[in-house]
Chain A
Amino acid sequence: MIPAQFDYVRPASLAEACQELGSDEDAKVLAGGQSLLPFLRLRLAYPSKLVDIGRLADLRGVHDRGDHVHIGAMTTHDEVMRSPVVREGCPLLALTAAQVADPAIRHRGTFGGSLAHADPAGDLPAAVLALDGVFVAASASGEREIPAAEFFVDYLESSLRQGEILAGVRIPKLGAGWGFHYEKFHRTAQAWAIVGVAAAVRRSNGSIAEARIALTNMGPTPVRARAVETALQGVELGDQVRQACVEAAADTSPPADLHAQPDYRRHLAKVLTDRAVRAAAGAP
């Protein structure tokens, strides 16, 4: 890797890290480095300073907080996918983290880094959006809560402000009767999702009582498929599910790239949403 020159600091406290970031608008947070380092390597980013938060132990770990699960930003994907607290309280995140890239990246890459990077092709943003996670941003002036629906602003752009660090995410626990699935469509195991669908579905008496669907790589940010969520309410598990998913690509603006054109992504969103919903509901 031959990046351009940058300064490097490794603060011992969150407060110090916030101060380093607040004083330099071209500074960047270095967490697991799995997104930032490729950008540096390709000289797509020229940060003046990297603020390495790798030693901030308080930011790492998963905690059961009764009505929600708190996941520290520096928790690795591998820790998320193996955490009993995650598997019990918000299994969709364990299912999704297990599909991020490959084992090497999952051991380095962090939950918070993946979210703060705000890449709509990342897997975790859609999953956290589907679960209505609450982002906790730390700064010199304290903590600020940001609902998932407001966190992702544009391509590679979050609502974090200068001097703020994503400290963790609170994932509200869903009650009994919910099922989960992350349907990732990609050409090779290590490739980005062409389209991904995160689904949480509550069943009641053979029908879908409630569904939350979010889509990966269908626009500049992860998006909730609200039209499908509405259409699925009360739908019996069976052929009707597919019909309810036809609007999956409504209000999306999927990108064109080497792997897919927008019309193909819209088609995939419908097919994959149907599959994700049925898998989440435990239906064939």
Chain B
Amino acid sequence: MTVDQEVGRPRRRKEDARLLTGRTQWTDNLSRPGTLHVMFLRSPMAHARIARIDVSGARGLPGVVAAFSGQDFREEQGSLPCAWPRSGDTVIPEHPPMAVSEVRYVGEAVACVVATDRYRAADALEAIEVDYEQLPAVLDMNEALSESAAKVHETGNRAFTYRTTSGDLEAAFRDAPVVIDRTFVQQRLIPSAMEPRAVLCETDGDTFTMWTSTQIPHILRTMLALVTGVAEHKLRVVAPDVGGGFGSKLQVTAEEVLCLLLARRLGRPVKWTESRSEGNLTVHHGRDQIQHLRLAADSDGRIRGLQVELLADMGAYLVLLTPAVPLLGAQMFNAIYKMDAYEFACTGVFTTKMPTDAYRGAGRPEATFGIERMMDELAAELGLDPLEVRRRNWIRHDEFPFTTISGLTYDSGNYEAATDRAMALFGYDKLRAEQNDRRDRGDPVQLGIGVSTYTEMCGLGPSRWFGSENAGAGGWEHGSVRVLPTGKVEVVTGSSPHGQGHVTAWSQIVADALGVPFEDVTVLHGDTAISPKGLDTYGSRSLTIGGIAVLKACDKVKDKARRLAAHVLECSPDDLEFEAGAFKVRGTESQTTIQELALAAFAAHDLPDGVEARLDSDATFDPDNFSFPHGTHLCAVEVDTETGMVKIRSYVAVDDVGKVVNPLIVDGQLHGGIAQGVAQALFEEAVYDADGNLLTTTMADYLLPSAADLPDFALDRTESPATSNPLGVKGVGEAGTIAATPAVVNAIVDALRPYGINDVRMPCTPERVWRALQDRTLEGARR
């Protein structure tokens, strides 16, 4: 090649100049003539019957155009959808977007005011009268499953029980020399996208346009049509600039449905933008599991069997993917390890809290945390180095492709190489020596080293698999490529970005495929009127599926161009070679460029038979397997035993995400991902009080780390190309978050193990660490 390859270059993102200088189109920046503003009155009770609701006090106040309660939408609001009841026994309760007769979590909408501005709408909310008859809050998952528990729904508090077994678990545990039995708590988290949710909906009386801060404009359009009866072809959904989601905008929200209904009823544009506190209450929450794990091993550390028993908090209702999220762990707890038997069981439990759903990693961080904590516990039990125990159990480089005990086939990987590189970067042996020295000296600041050798199934996913697992849709993605008459290239992707950098990465792929300059490619997305089909962005799927769809569309464009080039150059298509954006007749100087061909196709003065005008094409890609990124993360923490404060001293991540399209974007994803994983380990927790009130409604109480709270991350990569797609890419959106949480907690427990401590509940706050240390000495015995 004479032209530098674009794929692999650390291109600065095309998106950033505009985003960083505020020339943005967040939904809240948008307005239509005559826009009205809606605000929702939300339940202050965790569980109650609505005995009386009177919105008349709000009507007639200055600026108020309308006020409604759930009763007013009873006939038309439908039920919010759950699209993936993976377990056959799943109970999906009715879920009205606005509560009609009963509220089941604090924050559930019970009424709304539509006014000429947000201030008047907010003032008028205070004039709405609601009489609640309190019902018992249901907060604890174990209690919720007892016979005598109060019920969240008539059908009871069990949403489903799912179980899958491989191998002979009983044999694996029978006479096992080592059995590790632990219970871990995955606390409830609040996804905190930088841009709060916002919706703007307008109608001309016949068609509807909705701008919304969503990850899923295409899925949302279909779902809104199904829920409200608005015909799908009369509804356009636009995701303008979207400022992060982390799964929280992979949802069909009550507010989106209600804004559509309000626009229909009032015939005027309606807009809603949440406050941060409103978002903390009502953006779907993440995680929230109690994990009971049992692991049987031989005395040399070889794993015989693993048994996983989960309780997963659904919250009050099943929203889009609620019951499927914990089950994404079903094939992940066995991780990179070989074993003879495996059982995974999960019971979904209803409580009177905000529903849970996907949050960065969705089920896989929970699984990775569980198994990686267990591997450290196994190492401690046997007195082995935690990396050595992993080495004795992981799939060796020469064993790929490898079908795991849970039935997935990992196509490629090299755990040895990633681990060796990470240990070298980390200075593993030196830090272990320092740890021993601090222990010997009884230093009040102890050092801990945490390991996480993770993998994940991502690039969701093969449509056949989704079908076999009872999902409402498949996992393909769509892309179109058109070479414009002037030779510039317009790409349309069905994958809807919200910060990932699709425009840059897709430009690099197209530049290489068509031999055009990076600057000559633009990428359109996020609007159902522009991008006719797509399955949007989540599950680290954009590059591995959406990027490949674009690549396949480029291949089709090239095929078309080749036929046209052969016609122009008066040769056989087989005599042409494509290089640096031009078709050349082999062995001659004769050639024509893709830009010349685009113009010729547009003019259409002399097209060969069967070649249509315009140099364009589209493609849909459906992968035949997931992709399996992996890596080794090593974390060193200093634990101040006098105060309980944990400080991350160093963090090394060596990841294998296959081929890298843009190393800057990959590093950015890892920085953000690791920060979010660290945040679960140390900072974040949604806390409800005994009455079911959310206490963490502001960022003063729901702590997020900033750059000042994080160390420099030392990043490196190994490269085992994926075999399931032609670029060899694996996806990186969730890797950092999945890997980091167990690395940090393992490091804290490693520091405290000489005190006889083998777990600290997340987030590992200074107070929790300090309390764990009370009455303990460095020798581990309780005083």
On A, residues with C-beta under 8 Å from B are 2-5, 38, 41-42, 102, 185, 187-192, 194, 258-261, 264, 267-268, 271-272
Contacts and interface: CB of A to CB of B under 8 A. Distances in A.
Nearest to A261: B767
B24 interface: no
Given A192-B700, A271-B643, A187 B706 contact: no
B765 interface: yes
A2 B119 contact: yes
Contacts of A268: 643
Contact of B683 (A41, A188, A194, A271): A188
Given A4-B123, A187-B703, A258 B698 contact: no
A261 B770 CA distance: 12
Interface string B675-694: 00000001100010000000
Contact of B709 (A38, A42, A185, A189): A189
A94 to B, nearest CB: 19
A2 B645 contact: no
B705 interface: yes
B766 interface: yes
Given A2-B275, A189-B708, A271-B643, A258 B122 contact: no
Contacts of B642: 271
B277 interface: yes
Contacts of A5: 119, 123
Interface in B639-661: 642-643, 645
Contact of A188 (B275, B277, B706): B706
Given A185-B643, A188-B704, A41 B123 contact: no
Given A5-B119, A102-B706, A271-B643, A187 B700 contact: no
Please give me the 8 A-B residue pairs with the lowest Cβ-Cβ distance, nearest first: A189-B708, A2-B122, A188-B709, A264-B767, A271-B642, A188-B703, A260-B767, A258-B701
A278 to B, nearest CB: 13
A258 B695 contact: yes
7 contacts: A5-B123, A185-B766, A187-B683, A188-B706, A189-B708, A190-B708, A258-B701
Given A258-B687, A259-B765, A188 B705 contact: yes
A191 B700 contact: yes
Interface string B742-783: 000000000000000000000001110011000000000000
B696 interface: yes
A187 B709 CA distance: 9
A170 to B, nearest CB: 32
A51 to B, nearest CB: 20
Contacts of B645: 185
Contact of B706 (A4, A190, A259): A190
Contacts of A42: 277, 698
A66 B522 CA distance: 66
Contacts of A4: 122-123
A4 B121 CA distance: 11
B304 interface: no
Contacts of B708: 102, 188-190
Contacts of B119: 2-3, 5
Interface in B58-110: none
B233 to A, nearest CB: 37
A264 B766 CA distance: 10
A40 B142 CA distance: 40
B383 to A, nearest CB: 33
B648 to A, nearest CB: 13
A41 B274 CA distance: 13
A275 to B, nearest CB: 9
A191 B703 contact: yes
A5 B275 CA distance: 17
B552 interface: no
B502 interface: no
A173 to B, nearest CB: 32
A5 B122 CA distance: 10
Interface in B104-120: 118-119
A42 B701 CA distance: 14
B283 to A, nearest CB: 18
A38 to B, nearest CB: 8
Interface string B701-718: 101111011000000000
Contacts of A188: 683, 703-706, 708-709
A268 B642 CA distance: 8
A40 B700 CA distance: 15
Contacts of B704: 188
Contacts of B696: 258
Contacts of A3: 119
B767 A259 contact: yes
Which among B701, B704, B766 has the highest number of chain A CB atoms within 10 Å?
A: B766
Which residue, A102, A194, A258, has most C-beta atoms of chain B within 10 A? A258
A29 B709 CA distance: 34
A123 to B, nearest CB: 15
B125 to A, nearest CB: 10
A192 B701 CA distance: 10
Contacts of B701: 258
A194 B771 CA distance: 16
Given A189-B708, A258-B695, A268-B643, 20 more contacts: A2-B118, A2-B122, A5-B119, A5-B123, A38-B698, A42-B698, A102-B706, A187-B682, A188-B706, A188-B708, A190-B706, A191-B700, A258-B696, A259-B765, A261-B767, A264-B767, A264-B770, A264-B771, A271-B643, A272-B643
